[in-house]
Structure 1
Amino acid sequence: MNFLENTLSHLEDDLYSLYSCLLVNRYWSQHVIPLLWSQPFELVKETSSHKIIITYISCLPKETKKRFRIGGIKLPNYERTLFDYPKYLKNFNTQKFCRALNKTFLTNTTSPQYFYSKKSKNKFSNIIRKQIKLFKGFYIIYPKNNFDKSINKCFKPILKQYYSTYPNPYLAKEIIYLLFNQYITLKSLIINTCLDNRYKMDIELHLFLQRNHNSLQNLSTFELDFVKKLSYNREWKKEDFLLTELLNKMSEYAINLRKIRIEIPFSDPWGGQRLTTKFHQSLRKLIESQTKLKIFISNYYWDQTESCLYESLTKQSNTLKRLTLMELTHSDHRFRKGLSSWKNLETLELLGGSDFLTPSNVELEQLSIKNLFIGQNYEPDPLISKILKATNKNLNKLVLDGSSNSIIFETIIKYCPKITHLSITLSLDNYNYIILLLPKLFSNLYQLKYLKLSSREINKKSEIFESLLKVSKSFPLSLQHLVLELNMYYLNLDYFLKQCHHYLIYLDIIYNNIIIQDELFLTLMQYKKDNNNCQKIRFFSSLEFPYNLDLDFLDDVSEYITFVKEKYSNFNINNLW
């Protein structure tokens, strides 16, 4: 049994393989069902997500399902499902769940077209509708005694007639209450504050989750994602209150989180309104309460008057392994103190920009960072060269996004000789001097195995190619995998590859031009033929396959080139770690 469970666990994100395993026999199905239904909304397309909600409702007792039929929801005729599917739910995304609810009300109501209906122009009709709405308050969703049942029996026909044309938005709440009962224990919770109210459903997910403590106790991943612009007027005070309450409750019960991601756009997500101090304090409290936190990802920019989150993260000095900061970041002395205290920090990603320039006389202690990502807007900060110097021999993987700071390259040459994976996105600013430094950089990186060269602007100036073509001569002999995102003309590419002193094992070409010539593939094919050590050449493009080329020709060259048919932006080629 353990062998089967371990094998199936490797297929938990592969819907088609799991479905095939499901049909083997009953014993296998009993082990596959929990995996399939642990994250059902992630495994199916949005167009079919409403079927999950209907299946959940079908798991309920007969008497309970009557309330949904009264509310105008069409349900299957079968009595009960073979499995109690809700209890297997482990990963919950509020946005995907809300969309599934919206789809359910749209496609499974008696008269869905009335779901969007605006106020009728007929005054008499509006009066009748208002009178019927009064009866909704008398219907008791969970009757406790015979008196409650008698009241329901009186009003049931009236409500059934009403909800057959105007589905009850409060059914959404009831679905959640029935779904998140006491035996549900989540492992991943993603809250998207863009709860889609287009269908008038205020389901208050946050408020419900904070009531059910059992659903949070085994939580290992928590993500809070804000959206800048919404199509409706959001109740920001209510959201702030609910989220604050949720974070406070999580700090009591969800204390074993391994990953926290906070996405709050810096450009005022509520049109001038800001999150309150209470929310900030509850977030600090949540971070400090953790015992196993390994990953913290955030673009949350707090006001300088608030207490610093880095002070809270220092409580995780023994467990924190990855820190990702986006948009503006407070990089003052408290951040530098945090870098020194996070003894097990292996991955540091600085994707945005710094709001504080580090004094030139500041020095950092030895850092344990192995993986470092430097965004373009961070490069003016002297802190970056300080970090590179402090990581020195520990640094293995480095990403420089939009590099134009020569000081950074000089620091790498001097202090970081053990880099094995390097990605450089070149910028036109200070380009000539950077190109002169690259040969010296490559000659010093004697352990370099992976190299990616790219530029967002390189196709705008042809003279860049002339200086760049000479760089390949300096590639170290250790290099095995080369990725080029430079939109090279096929003759330039041919020259560039021939200048390498040794043959590569892996070669990836990322091409963004709207026109792709046959000669480009012929060049790559010839390189593969001439190089017996080359195991794979992959081709990525922003264009859809077959790139407006002859299919027979592509079929011939596919023996030598692997065409990655999904768009390269969706392919995880930039993640070195």
Structure 2
Amino acid sequence: MSALNNKAMPEMPPVCIKEIIEQAKDNKKTLYNLLFVNRTWCNIVVPTLWSNPFDVNEENSGLVIKTYISCFNSYEEIHLINHGFELPLQRIPPLYNYPEYLQSFDTENFMIAIKLWLKIRRPKRQLSKDNLEKVKFFMEMLGNMLFRNSRGLRNLTISHHHCQDFKCLQVSFDGLKRGLINLDQFKFDCNHMSIGDCQELEVITNIGKNLTLFAHNIQHIYIGNIKSIKILKAFLQLIRAQSNLTSLEFETWEKASLYEAYSIITSQFDTLKYLKLNGIINIYALLSVLKFFTNLESLVLYNYHEFGNEHLQQMFRERLPIVNLKNLYILKSNHTTKMCLESLIRSAKFHNLQSLTLDEVTPRILKIIQKQFVNLRSLSIFISDSYLSNIMQMIPSLRSLQKLVLSETRKGRWRSQNLESLAKTFPTSLINLGLFASISEYELDTLLKSLTVEIHELDFFNEEMTSDGVLKVVTKYAENNRYLKKVGFTVEKGGNMTFSDFLLNKARKFIGEIKSMENSGKTRNSFRNRQMIVAQDDKCI
């Protein structure tokens, strides 16, 4: 026994260690623990841990800043001391060159970490001028050091919600070109902040201009709600400057710049694969330019509306091009746009469509789907109880359907007898079923017993369904039908599933994976938002 104990454990190959760390990259606590396994693990964990250091809680923000201060050279330390900053008397050299691992940079998290380190909290009133200048000075010192030493950012997020913060963003960090040249993702998210003066307007416009000047290989761009046409045009030029843009999300549209925006988006016709537009106006004008996109796979239209006279709309309807989309998502439409939606999906030539997500549908829309989209592999719709009979007529014709997500509307709960009948209409190709509904344990049990197909994955998008009673019903179904491999339950953001240990352990004997799906709230709109995120995964079905 002693000989076995003395025998050294075999060293795990670095490629295996990297795979383990990759799976844990979003769990900071786990990464910190892995630092202390041995030197090999530490050398592999440190670059991952410090690739996005400012995405931490309040307690660790100070530790991040202190670690970076240890990376300052002697000149920078003297400069800080001369400006009133207290530094440790004995300087401990850092074990690693931490700034070189920086890959993700969120300007607001960066600012918050600095303010916490300086013990400046966000008061309800504005920060004093002296404190603001102190933040700005230290941000420039630290930012210069980070950008000068970093190998280059992959992700950049501008996400401020307080106008004072933009005054600090006037600085231009050393090494900005090298820091941005390899940028892969850019996000501008200032939806809750109104631009108050010309100085703030100029700062944000300059951000867009610097990105346009240095970053030409961005693959993913997200532009939030922009109130200023000047700022919008600066970011439109950023889009035009890209050579390999594959994903674009726009959260706002100004009528005055609509056609300029369409023209610039069209400049990415040969690379763009994913396009999401929120608050779109004149969908027909958009479709008229989609014919130029040779590789576009996914289109998301959210909260759209129309303008223009009937003659103009009729002209676009008659000239709709063939659009080679694989995934189409149209969400948060209102009553006035239902007719537009019906006309769109009837007229547009979506020959290769595989995934379709729609807001509340009508019998006419269901008939169009039944006639024109028989090759769908994924379908997600909001449906009222009164239209479930229409679903039953449509579903059997979708013989390639693998994934079906059904959601209740505000018009009332589904009736038990309709659920039982619905379960018997699913095509044999169906393997993934998702429900966003308030159904009882008895109704769920009846539905599952009525299924005539082999369901491999069940997802419950209503938090009310995350209960011991539902888990018990699902476990019974899995025990009797061994083909169920995965079940998903929705929990509040940052929360955990609260099943009893006994039921959870029993369920795991028959179900391969029981996963939690985060949700920011119980509202119908929160489910719509999650549908748009989940929708991107449909293309791999």
Q: Answer whether TM exceeds 0.5 for this pair.
A: yes
* Counterpart check, 1:294 vs 2:246: yes
Q: Equivalent of 1:442, from 378, 384, 395?
A: 395
Q: Equivalent of 2:314, from 349, 359, 384?
A: 359
Q: Equivalent of 1:245, from 177, 197, 206?
A: 206
Q: Contact 2:438–2:465 (CA<8 Å) still a contact in 1?
A: no
Task: Quote how far apart the aligned CAs of 1:346 are.
Answer: 0.2
Instruction: Indicate the SS of the match to 1:316.
Output: coil
Mapped partners of 1:515, 1:241: distance in 2: 49
Q: What letter is aligned with 1:476?
A: P
Instruction: Indicate the SS of the match to 1:418.
Output: coil
Mapped partners of 1:64, 1:487: distance in 2: 61
What do the CA deviations read for 1:466-521 (whole angstroms, capped 9, x no partner)?
434421111011111111221211222222222222332222234444995x6544
State how 1:35-184 maps to structure 2 within 5 Å.
35-42=48-55, 44-70=56-82, 71-75=84-88, 77-106=90-119, 170-181=137-148, 184=151
What do the CA deviations read for 1:236-273 (whole angstroms, capped 9, x no partner)?
422221121221232222111111100116xxxxxxxx
Task: Quote how far apart the aligned CAs of 1:389 are.
Answer: 5.2
Correspondence for 1:409: 366
What do the CA deviations read for 1:284-310 (whole angstroms, capped 9, x no partner)?
221111111111101122133665211
Correspondence for 2:534: 575
Q: Contact 1:182–1:212 (CA<8 Å) still a contact in 2?
A: no
State how 1:443-458 maps to structure 2 within 5 Å.
443-457=396-410
* Counterpart check, 1:33 vs 2:46: yes
- Where structure 1 has 5 or more consecutive residues not aligned to the other structure, the ranges are 120-129, 134-162, 266-273
State how 1:97-496 maps to structure 2 within 5 Å.
97-106=110-119, 170-181=137-148, 184-195=151-162, 197=164, 204-205=168-169, 207-208=171-172, 212-229=176-193, 235-264=196-225, 274-276=227-229, 278-304=230-256, 307-326=259-278, 328-356=279-307, 358-359=313-314, 361-377=317-333, 380=338, 382=340, 385-387=343-345, 390-401=348-359, 403-426=360-383, 428=384, 432=386, 434-457=387-410, 461-462=412-413, 464-496=415-447
Mapped partners of 2:486, 2:253: distance in 1: 43
Q: What letter is aligned with 2:178?
A: N
Instruction: Indicate the SS of the match to 1:309.
Output: helix
Q: What letter is aligned with 1:101?
A: I
Instruction: Indicate the SS of the match to 1:282.
Output: helix
TM-score, normalising length: structure 2? 0.81
Rate the CA distance shift 1:300–1:2 in 2: closer, same or farther, 3 A.
farther
Q: What letter is aligned with 1:81?
A: P
Rate the CA distance shift 1:331–1:16 in 2: closer, same or farther, 3 A.
same
Mapped partners of 2:134, 2:340: distance in 1: 60
CA RMSD, aligned part only?
3.7
Correspondence for 1:529: 479
Task: Quote how far apart the aligned CAs of 1:568 are.
Answer: 4.5
Rate the CA distance shift 1:560–1:488 in 2: closer, same or farther, 3 A.
farther
What do the CA deviations read for 1:189-213 (whole angstroms, capped 9, x no partner)?
110132574xxx7663254259832
Count of residues paired in the alignment? 503
Q: What letter is aligned with 1:535?
A: K
Rate the CA distance shift 1:26–1:203 in 2: closer, same or farther, 3 A.
farther
Mapped partners of 1:443, 1:189: distance in 2: 46
Which one has the largest radius of gyration? 1
Task: Quote how far apart the aligned CAs of 1:187 are.
Answer: 1.6
What do the CA deviations read for 1:442-465 (whole angstroms, capped 9, x no partner)?
11111111111122536xx35644
What do the CA deviations read for 1:279-337 (whole angstroms, capped 9, x no partner)?
233222211111111111011221336652111011111001000011x2122554122
Q: Contact 2:380–2:406 (CA<8 Å) still a contact in 1?
A: yes
Rate the CA distance shift 1:397–1:77 in 2: closer, same or farther, 3 A.
farther
- Where structure 2 has 5 or more consecutive residues not aligned to the other structure, the ranges are 1-12, 522-526
Q: Contact 1:180–1:215 (CA<8 Å) still a contact in 2?
A: yes
Correspondence for 1:123: none
Task: Quote how far apart the aligned CAs of 1:418 are.
Answer: 1.4
Correspondence for 2:490: 540
TM-score, normalising length: structure 1? 0.76
My pick for the range that moved more, 208-217 or 16-25, is: 16-25
Q: What letter is aligned with 1:523?
A: V
Correspondence for 1:270: none
Mapped partners of 1:465, 1:311: distance in 2: 51
Mapped partners of 2:381, 2:363: distance in 1: 13
State how 1:12-31 maps to structure 2 within 5 Å.
12-15=25-28, 18-19=31-32, 22-23=35-36, 25-26=38-39, 29-31=42-44
Instruction: Indicate the SS of the match to 2:294.
Output: coil
